[in-house]
Each structure stands twice: as C-alpha cells, then as structure tokens.
Amino acid sequence: MCLTLCWGVLTSTGWVQRTTGRQALRSGHLVLATLALAFGALHALSFGFLDDERFDLLRLTVPLLPGGLVRHALGIVGIELMLAIAISTAVQRLLVYRRWLWLHRLAYPAVGLTVLHSLFGAIANGHLAVLWLGGITLFVPTALLAALRFVPTGVLTRSGLVEEER
C-alpha cells in the first residue's frame, strides 16, 4: 500500500520518468495497487475464520456497526476507498478527468486510515514493537513523498529537490 502511494507520486510528478517510460511506471503502479487491494481483501476475509470473535460479511463491510471497534472501521473505510479508486480507474473514460483525479486523490486519506488501522490493531494485539519498525521503514518515506507531492514546484526548485525544465 505504501509502495503503491510512493510509486503513484513518482509517476504523477515524473520524478523517475528518466529511468523508464511513463507506461511502465503506470503499469508498475497498477500492479502494486492490485496487490495492495488483494492483500487487504484477504486480510479482511481471513477474519471469517476466527473462532473467538464473530465476523460476518455485514461486519466486514459496514463500519461502526453496534459492537464494532473504531480500529476495524478505519480499515473498512480505508479498503473501501481504495476499492472505489480502483473501480473509478476501470471506468476512467466515462468520468470527467477532474472528477476522476479528485476521486483518485482520495488514496492519500485511504492510506492514512489504513495506517491508523494498523497502528491501533497492533496496540490492541500487543504487537506495537514489530509494527513500529516496519512503520518507520515504510510509512516515513511514504509520508514524505505524499507531503512533497503537494508542495509548490517553486519551493522544490529553490530548495534543490527538483530542477527546472530547460
């Protein structure tokens, strides 16, 4: 998921376009997004096999049902946003570009919600030490690239992070 967001930022800004063509970058982003959705769906569906807690299809798809936990709701909303983005990409030609782009930019809050889902889940299950190491490794570069994505180009040029086109 974090790699998908990073690769999407690198693709949309053209920061790595010199190394390969734009189509290869977009295809790589599509593969990473498909893998993130598949692993997220597999993670959610695996809760149906738990013996100690009851999860049915309604509890896996509707956030904040009575008796539901906020950490589960964060994951549900995050994966549903990602699914909406994937569907909008499939029907991109039917949408106005600005509408599609607005919808596609919902990936930023979707990643944030699923990161919070991971954090609160790790705290509740006593695995925060393991997640902390992985979180620093994956989330910090993702957050940095996402933040740089919205910094004005002039600021990036003056700071030396990007060069002017000649």
pLDDT 10s digits, 17-28: 777 777 888 888
Q: Can you give the pTM of this predicted structure?
A: 0.81
Query: Could you give the CA distance from residue 40 to residue 81 in angstroms, rounded to a whole number?
Result: 12
What distance separates the 2 farthest-apart alpha carbons in the chain?
63
Statement: residue 66 has pLDDT above 70: yes
Residue 126 falls in which region: left (phi positive, over 0), alpha (psi -120 to 50) or beta? left
Rounded Cα–Cα distance for residues 76 and 154 (Å): 38
**pLDDT score for 98:** 92
Residue 106 — very low, low, confident or very high, per pLDDT cuts 50/70/90? very high
pLDDT exceeds 80 at position 166:
no
pLDDT for res 19: 75
What per-residue confidence (pLDDT) applies to 12?
A: 77
Tell me how far apart the alpha carbons of residues 104 and 149 are, in angstroms, rounded to a whole number.
14
- Cβ neighbours, 10 Å, residue 34: 12
Terminal Cα distance for the chain, rounded: 34
pLDDT for 79: 95
Per-residue model confidence as pLDDT tens digits over 111-143: 999 999 999 999 998 988 888 887 778 888 888
